[in-house]
Amino acid sequence: MSTAGIIISMNKYLFLTLIYCSSLFAAQNYSITFPKDWSVKENSFGADYFAYSPIVIDRDSASFFIKEYAADIKDPLDFIQKDIEKNILKNSKKYKNLNIYSKKDKTLNKKMFSVVEYYYFDNSLEKIIFSQIAIFKNNSRYIYFNLAGNEASFKEYKDDAESMMKTLKLKP
């Protein structure tokens, strides 16, 4: 085999190895089960899973964003609150009147979640948005859950979101 042939073969091997390794790192270390009536997209809007509740006439659907991140968080409740406040401040022309009304650790299916509930006014939509952010801490990684919607859809689908969180299964 010529030198050029060896170089081409090595490049092919390196390229295929890179593709294989990147697919390993992109794989989620968990799975979630969704209700059959929710629309679910994988790897959409920057999320591992992005789901929409069933749309009801004269009411918006709720959305549920789930993503795994690599980071070691000391205090998830404090992390969530600071992240919310930073986002509201960063987008102060779009969002206003933040009200964090619940901040607690919650056990769902024997797993500890840190949960913060809040609402704010979204100028672009001209309505109040309710949101629940939950974090499940898993060593130096965490899984981030965010349910958002108007007041009616948030209240209607909050139990669905918590049911989905209960189905969290970590992969070995």
Confidence band for 16, pLDDT divided at 50, 70 and 90: very low
Q: In the chain, where are the structural domains located?
A: 1-27, 32-170
Report the alpha-carbon distance of residue 17 to residue 25 in Å, rounded.
12
What are the backbone angles phi and psi of residue 71, rounded to the nearest 5°? -175, 145
Q: Indicate the pairing of strand 111-122 with strand 127-138.
A: antiparallel
Q: Is 110 left (phi over 0), alpha (psi -120 to 50) or beta?
A: left
pLDDT tens per residue across span 109-165: 999 999 999 999 999 999 999 999 999 999 899 999 999 999 999 999 999 999 999
In this prediction the pTM is: 0.81
Max distance between CA atoms of the chain, in angstroms, equals: 70
Nearest to 165 by CA among 138, 139, 147: 147
pLDDT at residue number 13: 39
Q: Which CATH superfamily is domain 32-170 in?
A: Mog1/PsbP, alpha/beta/alpha sandwich (3.40.1000.10)
Q: Taken in order 114, 117, 118, 123, is the CA torsion positive or negative?
A: positive
pLDDT tens per residue across span 33-82: 999 999 999 999 999 999 999 876 566 889 999 999 999 899 999 999 99
